[in-house]
Amino acid sequence: MTVRNDILLAGLIGRGIARSRTPEMHMAEAFAQGLRGVYRIVDVDTLPEEDQNLKAIVHAAETTGFNGLNVTYPFKMEVIPLLDELSPNAAAVGSVNTIVFRDGRRIGHNTDLWGFAESFRRNMDGAALDKVLLIGAGGAGVAVAHALADCGVAHLTIFDLDAARADQLARQVRDNRPGLTVGTTAALDETVTQGLTGIVNASPVGMAKTPGSPFPLGLLRPGIWVADIVYFPLETELLAGARKLGCRVLPGSGMAVFQAVRAFELFTGRPADPLRMKAAFDAFDQTPRETADA
């Protein structure tokens, strides 16, 4: 079976994702291109405990004719053993956010890396890249770390509540991006802010499901730019605190849109229009809730 380019049948697997804007972006783009589009949310938190089985969910999507699946927190690494093949970028970062079902095989891709990098390049031109703090070394963090390297960051410091995971990501990035100086920190305190030019949150802290700020707001200062990959809510506590100080900020909407642009092309074999997908993203809050998750 080849990629079906006359229909979009896809879905998103994750936890706490009922308000995801991904379905609207994909279905609006499918409609604009004259395709039939169905995109389903599979919020594992809403399923009965006996149905919260990632392997079974992926199998069901494949056998019912899905083009593919998007994968989000917390399954971007957990899904890898269920796949037959990884694209070069997914293999390099060890994280998958897009699965394509093709010719009886499950192929894992990572569109987060390009999505964050493209958003950063388009919206943060001229941002100081001397020393950046990355919070979160999970499935999204590994992609963002590599994207920051590709955007020209000189020194990257990684923090994760799991110190071993932060150390592992630091080693991985050093191997894959040898031009980047990478270190870790065990705590978010005043010492980590010395010389700091930017902060990126790639942890789930700030999501509606896990509210709060992953970085102490009292340690922010106006000269530091702040980016967040969380987009529901779009204005996280971290970004709101940074705006109050006059910091330059980058919300998670850009990464969300551009990773979807690349995923749509993988699902359908057709290029997507970023402006159309961004318009669908922005219109989300005007979409009636009873149809937004259809």
Specify the amino acid at residue 183.
Answer: G
CB 202 within 8 A of CB 225: no
CA dist 32 and 171 (Å) reads: 43
CA dist 96 and 90 (Å) reads: 6
Q: Is 76 a catalytic residue?
A: yes
Residue 235: exposed, middle, or buried by beta-carbon count in 10 A (0-12, 13-18, 19+)? middle
CA nearest to 12, candidates 79, 63, 93: 79
- Of 76, 209, 244, 278, the active-site residue reads 76
Q: What is the dihedral of CA 258, 262, 263, 266, to 10 degrees?
A: 170
Q: Is 158 helix (H, G, I), strand (E, B) or coil?
A: strand
Tokens 């270190």 label which residue? 183
Q: How far is CA 165 from CA 79, 138, 169, 270, in A?
A: 18, 8, 6, 37
What is the side-by-side order of every strand in the sheet holding 155-159? 181-184, 155-159, 131-135, 198-201, 225-228, 249-250
| Catalytic residue list | 76
